[in-house]
């Protein structure tokens, strides 16, 4: 046994007092253990863990100050002497030691809780001190990490611009962060329990408390908005949101939540409500029918004028596009289809149709719709307005009837005058001795032709407005028609050369006379508005769907802002030079309507001072050369 002790090297000369079993127990103990004899702490025995704890080689039979001189300033010697003198144990927590604890050559820092206990003999006299230690490295590291996490949590919560809080199972506040303290200007303790209620404005307290307690009792997530009186006496809107929290065992532990400053949002919402109220007041006072829709095409708002017109108390549910239940049966399909087409293309539209009023009478309505685009560029629906245009329609019908009647009455005498003038031209064209008479008759004949075209256009306008303009469509070769029309106009246009290069047979199914009328109108306009030029070009191109005819002049041109209006009825381009050209502005309107009724399109490309090109298209029928 003695040889074994010598191999270990930890037993002092007096170690024979210990039996071998006790000795091995001390040596194998997981924590450091040492027995110091007398007040000067002579080391009788210490295990390997203690040797690593205080450092040094085998220190048996040496007083502590001699055995471990490097511990002089650590205070451990005074603790040993104090325990010996008083006979009372002493605890030292988280003693730090760096050593090769795992015998792997790597130094490691560990923490120990040490107990210094008096060692007594059979008479109860203190004859030494026993030092025993427990490795608490894991616990100390865990506490340190927890402290660091708590410090980090405090830093994060204090830095947050949102007030954070927790409550216990009874709904009492147990924590608020620095943001809430900054808002209220009161210390932490003032908010604990139900103290936070004092900072809610009195008008909001009952709602907040009842909502808070109800949700806490049901352990459900809650949300409530209320006002807080800040330390600067300003009212601040906050949105409080809470979520139940549970222990690791699933037991309800209270709530964790936040209070967000929503003052600016509340101000914005109030401004929006004020704006909506102003809009509604303005809309309700307007004498027109105002409406709005969402992105689903359904009406979401109508003003007072609309409800009074239609005899409905309010907007009720989903009642169709543009209140299609109020539309005249003959107009319903056209209006709804036009509305849906414009809606899907996000385009402005204008429609005239009949709508039933509160007296169950149909009235003509002129309705305009404009897409609503939000600040982010997203389509939000439509806003529109309509007017009762029944009287205007009736006046327009009277006017159209008058124009039709007057034009028809003028046509008969004009036809007679033209016949006599042509007869006189035939008679006197063989005589060359009266040139003045021939020139006069030619001038009269030209003016009669202009007057005839004007009367024809007026009659066409009247027919279009009343829906009586019919098309007599047949299959024909467009090339032959263009050539005939060019030759006819060229006969009267002595100053201009009309150049047309055919590209082959072009089959169309249309009203031959009406298409000739369109081409004639384009040619005469080209000649009229290019007085300083001597050339007009006629161009034709095709694709798989349509034929495109263009008439180019090299005249005065048209400003971009005027180009979209020149096909309107009675529209004439304003300007000093344009006033010198005669006409009522109905020729292009008639031509455009004829093309549209054939399923084609009409447009113009022009630059001021550079001339213009007028285009129209017709659907392609088939190649006449095919069987």
Q: Find the mean pLDDT for residues 456-477.
A: 71
50 and 106 share a domain?
A: yes
Number of domains within the chain: 5
Residues pairing with 436 in the sheet: none
C-alpha 25/C-alpha 37 separation (Å) is 19
CA-based nearest residue to 558, from 543, 542, 540, 571? 571
Q: Which of 466, 481, 499 is the last residue of a domain?
A: 466
Q: Say which CATH number the domain at 46 has.
A: 3.30.450.20
Mean pLDDT of 588-602: 87
How far is residue 23's CA from residue 33's CA, in Å, rounded to a whole number? Answer: 11
334 domain residue, yes or no: yes
Q: How many residues does the chain have?
A: 627
Distance of CA 155 to the CA centre of its chain: 36
Convert the pLDDT of each residue in 126-138 to its tens digit: 999 999 999 998 8
Q: Give 619 or 575, the one with higher predicted confidence.
A: 619
Is residue 268, in this structure, part of any structural domain at all?
no
Based on the fold, state whether residues 221 and 341 are members of the same structural domain: no
Q: At what angle do helices 512-528 and 478-492 cross, to 10 degrees?
A: 40
Is 19 in the same domain as 129?
yes
**Any alpha helices (H) in 373-389, and if so which ranges?**
none
Check residue 170 and report its DSSP letter.
Answer: T
Q: Higher pLDDT residue, 278 or 324?
A: 278
Q: What is the DSSP string of 440-468?
A: HHHHHHHHHHHHHHHHHHHHHHHHHHHT-
Angle at which helix 435-466 crosses helix 587-597, to 10 degrees, equals 50
Residue 54 within any structural domain of the chain: yes
Residue 19 shares a structural domain with residue 119: yes
Dist. CA 598–CA 547, nearest whole Å: 12
- For 188-224, write each residue's pLDDT tens digit: 888 888 888 888 899 998 888 888 778 877 888 888 8
DSSP-derived 3-state class of residue 228: strand
613 vs 552: CA distance, rounded Å? 4
Instruction: Give me 2's structure tokens.
Output: 């003695």
pLDDT band at 88 (very low <50, low <70, confident <90, very high): very high
pLDDT of residue 537: 95
Name the more confident of 30 and 19. Answer: 30
pLDDT at residue number 91: 93
| Residue 501 is assigned to a structural domain of this protein | yes
Does one domain contain both 533 and 612? yes
Q: Are residues 218 and 242 in the same domain?
A: yes
Whether residue 315 lies inside any domain: the answer is yes
Most confident of the ranges 144-148, 335-339, 402-406, 478-482: 478-482
Residue-number span of the structural domain to which 610 is assigned: 473-619
Based on the fold, state whether residues 510 and 600 are members of the same structural domain.
Answer: yes
Sorting pLDDT into bands at 50, 70 and 90, what band is 597? confident
- Residue 1: what pLDDT? 33
Q: Is the pLDDT of residue 408 over 90?
A: no
272 CB-contact burial (10 Å; exposed 0-12 / middle 13-18 / buried 19+): exposed
Q: Is the pTM above the cut of 0.75?
A: no
Say if residue 79's pLDDT is above 50. Answer: yes
Looking at the DSSP bridge assignments, the partners of residue 238 are: 226, 261
With bands split at pLDDT 50, 70 and 90, how would you rate the model's confidence at 409? low
Query: What percent of the chain shows pLDDT beyond 90?
Result: 21
| pLDDT for 87 beyond 70 | yes
Residue 283 counted as domain residue = no
Cβ neighbours, 10 Å, residue 478: 24
CA torsion 589→591→595→598, rounded to 10°? 110
As a whole number of Å, the end-to-end CA separation of the chain is 129
Distances (CA, A) of 149 to 157, 316, 481: 12, 58, 93
Q: In what order do the strands lie in the sheet with 299-302?
A: 299-302, 289-293, 379-388, 362-373, 349-356
CA atoms within 13 A on the CB side of 150: 7
Q: Would you tell me how many other CB atoms lie within 10 Å of the CB of residue 282?
A: 11
Identify which has the larger pLDDT, 395 or 339: 339
Please indicate, yes or no, whether residues 614 and 477 belong to a single structural domain of this protein: yes
Do 501 and 529 lie in one domain? The reply is yes
Question: How confident is the model over 575-582, as a mean pLDDT?
Answer: 46
Q: What would the DSSP string read from start to end of 58-125? A: --TTS-HHHH-GGGTTTTHHHHHHHHHHH---EEEEEEEEEE-TTSSS--EEEEEEEEEEEEE-TTS-
Query: Which residue's structure tokens are 């560990």?
Result: 110
- Work out the pLDDT band at 38, boundaries 50, 70, 90: very high
- Among 256-265, 402-411, 593-602, the range scoring the smallest mean pLDDT is 402-411
Per-residue model confidence (pLDDT) at position 570 = 58
Domain termination residue (choose one: 388, 403, 427): 388
Residue 521 has pLDDT above 70, yes or no: yes
One domain, residues 59 and 120:
yes
Q: Using CA atoms, how far apart are residues 564 and 562, in angstroms rounded to an integer?
A: 6
From 466, 491, 516, give the residue that closes a domain.
466
Predicted local confidence at residue 547, as pLDDT: 92
Residues 491 and 614 in one domain: yes
Q: How confident is the model at residue 379 (pLDDT cuts 50, 70, 90)?
A: very high
Report strand pairing: 497-500 vs 535-542: parallel
Q: What is the pLDDT of residue 477?
A: 92
Are both 461 and 370 inside the same structural domain? no
DSSP state of 581: S
**372 three-class SS:** strand
pLDDT confidence of residue 11:
39
Rounded to an integer, what distance in angstroms lies between the CA atom of residue 218 and that of residue 171?
A: 12
Give the per-residue pLDDT at 495. Answer: 87
Separation between Cα atoms, residue 442 and residue 440, nearest integer Å? 5
**279 within some domain:** no
Q: For a pLDDT cut of 70, what percent of the chain falls above it?
A: 83
Question: Is residue 425 very low, low, confident or very high in pLDDT (cuts 50, 70, 90)?
Answer: confident
Q: Is 148 inside any structural domain? A: no
**pLDDT for the residue numbered 548:** 94
In this prediction, residues 509-516 reach a mean pLDDT of 90
Average pLDDT, the chain: 81
pLDDT band at 614 (very low <50, low <70, confident <90, very high): very high
pLDDT class for 437, splitting at 50, 70, 90? confident
């Amino acid at each position: 046994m003695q040889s074994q002790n010598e191999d270990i090297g930890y037993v002092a000369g007096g170690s024979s007092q210990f039996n071998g079993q006790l000795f091995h127990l001390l040596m194998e103990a997981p924590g450091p253990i040492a027995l110091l004899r007398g007040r000067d702490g002579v080391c009788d025995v210490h295990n390997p863990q203690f040797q690593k704890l205080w450092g040094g080689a085998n220190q048996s039979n040496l007083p502590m100050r001699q055995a471990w001189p490097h511990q002089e300033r650590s205070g451990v010697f005074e603790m040993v002497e104090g325990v010996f003198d008083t006979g009372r144990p002493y605890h030292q927590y988280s003693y730090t030691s760096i050593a090769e604890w795992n015998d792997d050559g790597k130094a490691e820092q560990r923490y120990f809780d040490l107990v210094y206990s008096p060692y007594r003999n059979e008479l109860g006299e203190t004859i030494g001190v026993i030092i025993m230690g427990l490795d608490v490295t894991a616990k100390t590291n865990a506490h340190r990490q927890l402290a660091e996490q708590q410090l980090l949590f405090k830093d994060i919560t204090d830095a947050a611009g949102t007030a954070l809080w927790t409550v216990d199972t009874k709904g009492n506040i147990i924590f608020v962060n620095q943001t809430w303290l900054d808002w209220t200007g009161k210390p932490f303790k003032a908010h604990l329990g139900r103290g936070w209620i004092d900072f809610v404005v009195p008008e909001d307290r009952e709602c907040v408390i009842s909502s808070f307690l109800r949700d806490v009792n049901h352990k459900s997530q809650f949300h409530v908005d209320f006002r807080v009186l800040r330390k600067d006496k300003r009212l601040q809107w906050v949105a409080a949101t809470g979520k139940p929290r549970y222990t690791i065992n699933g037991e309800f532990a209270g709530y964790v939540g936040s209070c967000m400053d929503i003052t600016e949002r509340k101000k914005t919402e109030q401004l929006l409500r004020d704006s909506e109220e102003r809009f509604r007041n303005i809309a309700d006072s307007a004498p027109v029918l105002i409406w709005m829709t969402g992105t689903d095409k359904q009406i979401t708002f109508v003003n007072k004028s609309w409800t009074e017109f239609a005899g409905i108390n309010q907007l009720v549910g989903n009642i169709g596009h543009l209140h299609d239940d109020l539309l005249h049966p003959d107009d319903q399909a056209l209006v709804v289809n036009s509305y849906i087409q414009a809606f899907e293309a996000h385009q402005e539209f204008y429609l005239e149709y009949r709508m039933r009023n509160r007296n169950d009478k149909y009235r003509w309505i002129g309705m305009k719709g404009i897409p609503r685009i939000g600040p982010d560029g997203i389509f939000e629906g439509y806003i529109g307005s309509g007017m009762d245009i029944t009287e205007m329609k009736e006046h327009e019908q009277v006017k159209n009837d008058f124009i039709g009647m007057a034009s028809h009455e003028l046509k008969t005498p004009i036809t007679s005058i033209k016949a006599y003038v042509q007869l006189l031209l035939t008679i006197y064209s063989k005589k060359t001795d009266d040139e003045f008479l021939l020139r006069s008759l030619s001038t009269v004949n030209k003016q009669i032709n202009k007057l005839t075209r004007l009367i024809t256009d007026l009659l066409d306008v009247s027919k279009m407005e009343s829906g009586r303009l019919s098309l007599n469509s047949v299959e024909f070769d467009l090339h032959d028609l263009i050539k005939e029309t060019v030759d006819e106009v060229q006969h009267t246009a002595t100053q201009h050369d009309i150049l047309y290069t055919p590209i082959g047979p072009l089959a169309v199914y249309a009203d031959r006379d009406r298409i000739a009328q369109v081409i004639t109108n384009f040619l005469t306009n080209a000649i009229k508005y290019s007085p300083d030029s001597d050339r007009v070009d006629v161009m034709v191109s095709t694709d798989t769907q349509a034929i495109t005819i263009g008439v180019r002049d090299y005249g005065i041109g048209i400003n971009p802002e005027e180009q979209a209006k020149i096909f309107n009825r009675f529209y004439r381009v304003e300007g000093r030079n344009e006033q010198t050209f005669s006409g009522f502005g109905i020729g292009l309107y008639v031509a455009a309507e004829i093309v549209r009724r054939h399923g084609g399109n009409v447009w113009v490309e022009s630059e001021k001072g550079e001339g213009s090109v007028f285009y129209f298209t017709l659907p392609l029928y088939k190649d006449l050369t095919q069987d």
